[in-house]
Each structure stands twice: as C-alpha cells, then as structure tokens.
Structure 1
Amino acid sequence: MSYDRLPMHRRSSSASKYRFNLNARHRAITFLKFFIPAAVLLILYGVFIYEPHVEIAFYERGWVYREIEPIKPLAGCFHPERVSAKYNVSEALYGPKYTDPQAGVRLRFGMDCYDLAGTIRSPPKSPSRPTLPPDERTQFHTYWRIDLAEFGPRQEYMLKSFFATQDLRQTRLVLWSNGDLAEGNRILQTYLKTYPNAFAVRKLSIPELAKGTILEGHSLLTSKDKKAWLDGDLIRLLLLWNYGGVWIDMDSLLTRDLEPLLEHEFVTQWDCYDKKYSALNGALMRFRQHSPYLCEAFNIMLNDTPPREDSTDWGSILYLKLWRRLVAASIPPFKILPFCFSDGRSCRLDNRLPDPFVSDDSKGKWTMGLGIEEGGALDMTLHEKVFSVHLHNQWEKEFPRNGWVERLLIKGYDKKVMSHREAEIS
C-alpha cells in the first residue's frame, strides 16, 4: 500500500516518526562533530602533559592452563638424605635473620619501596674483620658472551660499581664468558692486576657446570638464543649451584654494599606492576652452594615443557613455578626483593628512578619533587637505600654528560677505583 493510500491518522503518525528519526540523526551528527575533535584535542593535550605507559600482553589460555595453573609436586631435593653437606638447612631456612627485606604489601604509594630499602642494614662490623682467602669469599658472578659484543668501557662500569661498593676483604667478582675474554683486553688486564684476590675472569663450560646435577649430559644444555636469555638463565643457576654467592647481570650498576641481603636466598621483583605471570626477575639473585632450591629448579627445567626461544621460561616463569610448588609443599620459599632494591627504573612516573639516558630535568627535581643534586634525595636514595640500578640491556645508549648517573655514580666509582690502584689493594 502506498503512502497516499494510507488513512490520514496513519499518515500523520508516519510523518512524525520520520521527522523524529531525522532530528535524532542530525543531533547525533552534530554531537559527533563536536565530540570527536574535542576528544582528539584532549588526548593530544594529555600526551603533551603526560608520558603514557601502556603495556598489553596476550597469553594463550592453553599455555596458562598447561604451564602455570597446575602445581606439580617437588622432586624431593629438601629431603634430609638428599640435601648436600655443603648446605645448612637449619641456618639457611630456619635460622634467625637480622633483616627482613619483604614488605608483605604492595609498595605502590610514594617512596614506600625506597624507604623500606633504607631499613635494610647490616649489624655492626668488627674493626678487626679478616681478609678471607679468595675461594672463601662471597662470590659475585656475572657473564659476558664474547660472540655478541666486545667488552669495552661501557661494560667496565659494572666492574667499577662492584669495586667501589662491596667489601673487597670478603667478596670476589668472577666475570665468566664463553671464550677467552681477558686475552688481549687491556681493561680486564688492568683489573686483574689491581685486584688479584678480588677479581677473576674465567671461561665456562656448561656441560662441566652441569655435572652432578639432573641436567648432566642432557640436550637442553645446548639451549641458547640471540638475546642470551635461555643460556644466560641456565648459566646463572649452574654457577650458583657450583659456587654459591650472588648473580648480578652485566647491565647493572651496584650502588650499595649487598652484605645485609646475603643472609637470605632471593630473587627480585620484576617491577612494581606485579605482572601476573612475570612477577619475578633474576637480574640480581642469591643462592647458597648446592641449594635445594636450585636442585628443584633443575628438575622443573628437565621435566616441564622445553623453553621457547627468546622467552623467560627458564627465568621469571621458572621462579614462579618453583615458588608455588614450595609453598604448596609447606617449605619456606626463597625471598623476593621489592622492585626498587635493584630495578627502581621500572615503575610509574611518580615513583621511579629518573631515566639514566635522558638529561636531567631543568628544574633539578626527581620524582615527588625531590632534588637530584649531589647530597640531595636521589643521591641519598642511591647510596643509602637501593642496592643497584638495572639498565635492561640498553648498551647502545650513552649516559648524558653530567647527568645523574655520571655525577652521582660514575664519578664516585672512578675516584674509589683510582684510590685502589694507587694503594695496590688486593
């Protein structure tokens, strides 16, 4: 039936509906004409004022159900008959501790994390503290793959930070490599001469390090990738198993003596965002020689799904699996240091360390409006609170001239190392 043939009352109703729909459409178009430009301007203004940080990660549900959610039983490494005589369970797990580096709450407000780090102090030291033989000292381990890049002045900063901050009567830094790193390297030769008892450069063999573990002779020992993630995660665990001590990534700058942390076995929190599946980090970690924690980690590596290339399957994911299995078995887990202890860069704009590769703010202020000058709040935080600054493999970037890293850290390192060379300290 055509519109002309409709009864008059129906014609009026249809026309009214048409006019209403047309007016609604016009109003919607008018609204969008104003709303869209206003929204774009608002977003642009927000980006100009604020530095956005958005991180979106996608995890395959099947992988989560298969790899994360199941809590498999431990392998029995904590059974008394299997614990190595080199590992004192009573002291390591249940002995009294002078400090507690864990907060028990999320440190998301202001400077809470840094203030907690400032509470971690060593008991008073005896002035007659002895100088230990090299092999009896706390061994600090780090690693440089000779096939990835040359060891040069930028890598030297890590060495300087160790010798400027740690007790050289009680510790030794061992720089490991997959080749003859020190041969022909003037930088390393100088340190070997200056610190004959506190520094060593060694070539490692993964098969040799794996002897006596459940991984001995296994094809997994050849796992590696271009980022040195898989082999790096494997090496740190094998080195700590064989020698005990502390692992520190080469892309780190130590800022404070780690001694008050060494009564604990620990890994670190990845950042302050508390990522669900990647909450833990091994850039700074400490385990005792033949620790049952490491024995259990080797069993997970052997019996769980092989690691994906360029993944943290043998790092963050492994530590999470191990932690959950420990608590499920009623075994005290290793400690987890809050993010700012070693990775204060990885948090929100209002409470993270300044970017080491960006020139200092012209106003001379750090987060929360605190000073970045020598003797200021940032200086005090670096030397009296946090223990290191993790730089996350940004080897291609240079520190700005007279920036906070140079002023508050490197100049102090240089001064301390120079005094050691003049005194020929060992």
Structure 2
Amino acid sequence: MSSPYVSIPLHNTDGVSSSRPRVYRRPDAFVRHLFRPRALYALLKVALPLAVLVIVGGLYYWEPHVEIAFYNRSWVSQEVLDVQPLSGCFSERRVSPDYNVTDALYGPRHTEVHAGTPLQFGLDCYDFADTVKPLVRGPPPRRIPPDERIQYHTYWRSDLAPFGPRQEWMIKSYFATQDLERTRLVLWTNFDLTHNVILQKWVRRYPDAFALKTVDYKTLARGTELEGSELLNINDTKAWVDGDLVRLLVIWAYGGVWIDMDSLLTRDLAPLLEHEFVTQWDCYDKKYVPLNGALMRFHKHSPYLCEAFHVMVTSPPPRQGTTDWGALLYLKLRRRLLAAGIPPFKVLPFCFSDARSCRLDNRLPDPFLTDPANGFWTMGLGREVGGALDQALGKVFSVHLHNQWEKPFPKGGWVDRLLLRKYDDRIGPSN
C-alpha cells in the first residue's frame, strides 16, 4: 500500500542537502512548498529552457497557422444568422427582358466550377481548375461591334494614385490572354483619364477591345433601389465603399465580367462565362466572410444584383474598414436565395483567382519577393519556365495581388519570368 506522506530532501541554508528528509503529512503542504520563490526559481531554470527547445524544434518540423478573430455576437445574430426574405426580383413581372431566367438558372452547362469542398490540400485546387477546359473555336463569322461584345470591367481611382506602368500590367494581361474579337475591356475611373499617355496608346491600338469611361453613379443606378440613395454620395472618406458599389452598378447596367485592377489574368475566362459567379475569399472557409468580388460575372440586369441592391439599401451601413459590402453582402444574398428555393450564383474556388490565399505549402509564392536560391516553389516543385509553378499558373485564371501598389515585381522573379515576359511576347511592343 502506498504511503500517504510526501517526502522531499531537506536543504541547509547553504543549499546542501540534508540526509534527513522533510515529511509532509498533508499533500497541500507540498503544493505550498512548490510556490515558494526558491522552488519556483529552480523550476523555471529547467522549464524555461525546455520550453524554448520545444518551440524551436517545433518550428523546424511544423508550420504554425494561427488566426484569431472576434465577432460581436449581436452583430452576428443580426447581420449573418438572420435570413430576410427576397424582395421579389426573380418574380416574372420584375425580371428584365434582357435576362433569360430559364437559361441563367436552369440551363445546361458544359463546365462545373463549384467544387463543393475547400480544396485545401496539395495541388487539389489547381488540378480542379484544370478540369475547366479551354473553349476551342475559330474567329467570329463577323466583326462584333464593341458594345455587343462580352464586357470586361475594371476600375482605377485616379485621385488616390496616378495610373502608371505598374497598373498597366493588368491591361497587358487582358490583351495577352483574352479573345480580343469577342470581348472588350472597359477601364472605369472617377476622373477623366483620356489624356493619360499609357492608356492613349492602348486605345489607339485596340479601339474595339479597350475603352475608358468615367463613373456616374446616379446614371448607373437608375431603375434600381439605389436610385436616389445617400449611398451614391461617394467621397474620399468613403473609399472603402467605392469599389464594391462600382462593380455591382457597372455589371448591372452592362453585364459582363468584373476584374479587380490589382489582378493579373493568366488564362482566357471564356469557359467560366456560362455561369454567374463570385469567388471564394480563401481556402479557410471563414464563417462570416467566405466570398469575394475580385473576380465576378453576372448578366445585364441580373435579378441576383437586383436583390444585392435591396440588401444594401435595407441593411445597416458597412462598418468602416471592413469587407461588409463584399464578403458579407454576397453571403447574406446567397442565404436568402437558398431560403427562397432559388439556385444561387456559383462560387469559384479560391485558386481560380486568388491562389495567394491558402496554406503555406500550396499557395502561390509572394509576388514581391525574389526567388529562393534553390529555385523551388513547394513540395520540391520547380519555378522554372515549364515547371510546376508555370503549369499551375496555366490552370488558374487570375492572380490577385491585393493592392501593394508600392511594391515592384523583382527583376527575374517568378512574376517577371512566368507572366510579364509572356505578356510582352504575346502582344509585342507596346509603343
């Protein structure tokens, strides 16, 4: 039978152990001994170095992934969990004659773009993107007038920064990857950029495939619930609202594809365009911000956008510095559609346009860092022309750079070698 007593060695005042043990008849006496300063100091001398060794060793073998976010419970209850009814934009009497509900919601499709799983592991997402095969077609039988083409839209706030060579790369990526006989890129701005030297040369070179337009919020909002709304009174203090408002109004008025200016297109978007879609924010399946509008596609006068305007008008104003009008807006709309039994818009997997936002072992490398000396991307795969990274870029459709306009692309880095030089090779000199 074990003894009910706890024995520990005695120490003299000079620290030398005594041969006679100190015996505690109560276990709590031993605990009190441990919390004496001398005992704590002795414990820390062993525990602290051991903890440091464990952390350092752990970092050598493992990559820590830590993300902590705090959400106000009342805000979550009101703005996320509460599902309001649709406003009736899909009713027969309200659907625009420009929108074919039967085809848009229930028509046959050649490609599947909604993966159904997060695709977090290995190269799963890139391989799924590769299942969306390019369209094989010859030139159109006739010249398609610019206004009748599929409209691609992007936006630049020229009052925040001048349009320069760094911004030009997005324009070049469009010319190098898309069908210039069937599409047109419209660069929207809040100030007139027709006198910009860089943009002038592209307008002259591709008059049918490139255009400049200035945003007029009130004109774009005519016939929507936003008409006459205070939300249209954009100023510099509301720049955080500006981008989300422009993209939805522009696509409502003209239909087509939205591409954020801080993107580089890598592949023809044509096989995606039979769907209406937004994109997955990243591969982590964040509960309250799962969706993104950096790359999106809707038809002209789409009831999806009509319902989005209703959400905007009837919801509390976005919290400043947040993505409420982007990620949260599309989430709220999607849940309302599901509750009403209406097929929701598609959600492209993260890597189709934002492969920078996933695990450290499968995300695209940082576009603004020089290549490592070993030349590897991930899992021992190479960054050389024709290598694994190059092949992955050919499977996805865009690289979202998340602004960072002040950072240059390193000379000889993967963006320079695998994207920028290829753009120049395909479209030739820009002068």
TM-score relative to the length of structure 2: 0.90
Q: 2:120 aligns to what? A: 108
Q: 2:173 aligns to what? A: 161
Shift of 1:157: 0.5
Deviations 1:250-308 (A, max 9, x none): 00000000000000000000001111101000000000000000000000111111222
Q: 1:280 aligns to what? A: 291
Would the aligned equivalents of 2:260 and 2:294 in 1 still touch at CA under 8 Å?
yes
Question: Do residues 402 (structure 1) and 412 (structure 2) align?
Answer: yes
293-302 or 365-374, which moves further after superposition? 365-374
The structure 2 residue matched to 1:386, chosen from 387, 393, 396, is 396
Question: Do residues 86 (structure 1) and 86 (structure 2) align?
Answer: no
Would the aligned equivalents of 2:409 and 2:415 in 1 still touch at CA under 8 Å?
yes
Shift of 1:48: 6.7
Q: 1:32 aligns to what? A: 44
Question: Do residues 333 (structure 1) and 335 (structure 2) align?
Answer: no
Secondary structure in structure 1 of the residue aligned to 2:94: coil
Tell me how far apart the structure 2 counterparts of residues 269 and 418 of structure 1 sit (CA, whole Å).
Answer: 34
Secondary structure in structure 1 of the residue aligned to 2:187: strand
Tell me how far apart the structure 2 counterparts of residues 234 and 19 of structure 1 sit (CA, whole Å).
Answer: 68
Deviations 1:215-235 (A, max 9, x none): 111111124565833111011
Change in Cα spacing, 1:217 to 1:349, as seen in structure 2 (3 Å) is same
Secondary structure in structure 1 of the residue aligned to 2:151: strand
Tell me how far apart the structure 2 counterparts of residues 88 and 315 of structure 1 sit (CA, whole Å).
Answer: 26
Shift of 1:31: 3.5
Q: 1:3 aligns to what? A: none
Question: Do residues 68 (structure 1) and 46 (structure 2) align?
Answer: no
Question: Do residues 413 (structure 1) and 423 (structure 2) align?
Answer: yes
Determine what percentage of the aligned residue pairs are the same residue.
62
Change in Cα spacing, 1:226 to 1:387, as seen in structure 2 (3 Å) is farther
Would the aligned equivalents of 1:345 and 1:353 in 2 still touch at CA under 8 Å?
yes
Change in Cα spacing, 1:21 to 1:277, as seen in structure 2 (3 Å) is closer
Tell me how far apart the structure 1 counterparts of residues 235 and 332 of structure 2 sit (CA, whole Å).
Answer: 21
Unaligned runs of 5+ in 2: 1-21
Tell me how far apart the structure 2 counterparts of residues 22 and 304 of structure 1 sit (CA, whole Å).
Answer: 58
Counterparts of residues 45-56 of structure 1 (less than 5 Å): 46-47=58-59, 52-56=64-68
Shift of 1:131: 3.5
Secondary structure in structure 1 of the residue aligned to 2:292: strand
Counterparts of residues 130-149 of structure 1 (less than 5 Å): 130-149=142-161
Secondary structure in structure 1 of the residue aligned to 2:257: strand
Change in Cα spacing, 1:53 to 1:399, as seen in structure 2 (3 Å) is farther
The structure 2 residue matched to 1:369, chosen from 350, 359, 380, is 380
Secondary structure in structure 2 of the residue aligned to 1:190: helix
229-238 or 119-128, which moves further after superposition? 119-128
Change in Cα spacing, 1:409 to 1:227, as seen in structure 2 (3 Å) is farther
Tell me how far apart the structure 1 counterparts of residues 214 and 79 of structure 2 sit (CA, whole Å).
Answer: 34
Change in Cα spacing, 1:131 to 1:382, as seen in structure 2 (3 Å) is farther
Question: Do residues 212 (structure 1) and 223 (structure 2) align?
Answer: yes
38-47 or 169-178, which moves further after superposition? 38-47
Change in Cα spacing, 1:189 to 1:128, as seen in structure 2 (3 Å) is closer
Would the aligned equivalents of 1:248 and 1:284 in 2 still touch at CA under 8 Å?
yes
Would the aligned equivalents of 1:140 and 1:248 in 2 still touch at CA under 8 Å?
yes
Question: Do residues 317 (structure 1) and 328 (structure 2) align?
Answer: yes
TM-score relative to the length of structure 1: 0.91
Secondary structure in structure 2 of the residue aligned to 1:315: helix
Shift of 1:52: 4.5
Deviations 1:59-101 (A, max 9, x none): 1111011111110000000001110000011111111000011
Shift of 1:396: 1.0
Would the aligned equivalents of 1:226 and 1:310 in 2 still touch at CA under 8 Å?
no
Tell me how far apart the structure 1 counterparts of residues 286 and 66 of structure 2 sit (CA, whole Å).
Answer: 13
Question: Do residues 150 (structure 1) and 162 (structure 2) align?
Answer: yes
Opposite residue 113 of structure 2, the aligned amino acid is: P
Deviations 1:84-134 (A, max 9, x none): 000011111111000011111221211100000000014431355543110
Shift of 1:14: 8.9
Opposite residue 120 of structure 1, the aligned amino acid is: V
Tell me how far apart the structure 1 counterparts of residues 43 and 193 of structure 2 sit (CA, whole Å).
Answer: 67
Opposite residue 107 of structure 1, the aligned amino acid is: L
Secondary structure in structure 1 of the residue aligned to 2:188: strand
Opposite residue 71 of structure 1, the aligned amino acid is: V
Query: What CA RMSD, in Å, does the superposition of the two structures yield over aligned residues?
Result: 2.2
Tell me how far apart the structure 1 counterparts of residues 378 and 96 of structure 2 sit (CA, whole Å).
Answer: 47
Tell me how far apart the structure 2 counterparts of residues 328 and 380 of structure 1 sit (CA, whole Å).
Answer: 40
Tell me how far apart the structure 1 counterparts of residues 391 and 282 of structure 2 sit (CA, whole Å).
Answer: 21
Q: 1:7 aligns to what? A: none
Would the aligned equivalents of 1:225 and 1:309 in 2 still touch at CA under 8 Å?
no
Question: Do residues 177 (structure 1) and 170 (structure 2) align?
Answer: no
Tell me how far apart the structure 1 counterparts of residues 221 and 427 of structure 2 sit (CA, whole Å).
Answer: 35
Would the aligned equivalents of 1:130 and 1:169 in 2 still touch at CA under 8 Å?
no
Secondary structure in structure 2 of the residue aligned to 1:108: coil
Would the aligned equivalents of 1:269 and 1:279 in 2 still touch at CA under 8 Å?
yes
Change in Cα spacing, 1:129 to 1:354, as seen in structure 2 (3 Å) is farther
Q: 1:295 aligns to what? A: 306
Q: 1:8 aligns to what? A: none
Tell me how far apart the structure 1 counterparts of residues 161 and 323 of structure 2 sit (CA, whole Å).
Answer: 22
Question: Do residues 190 (structure 1) and 229 (structure 2) align?
Answer: no
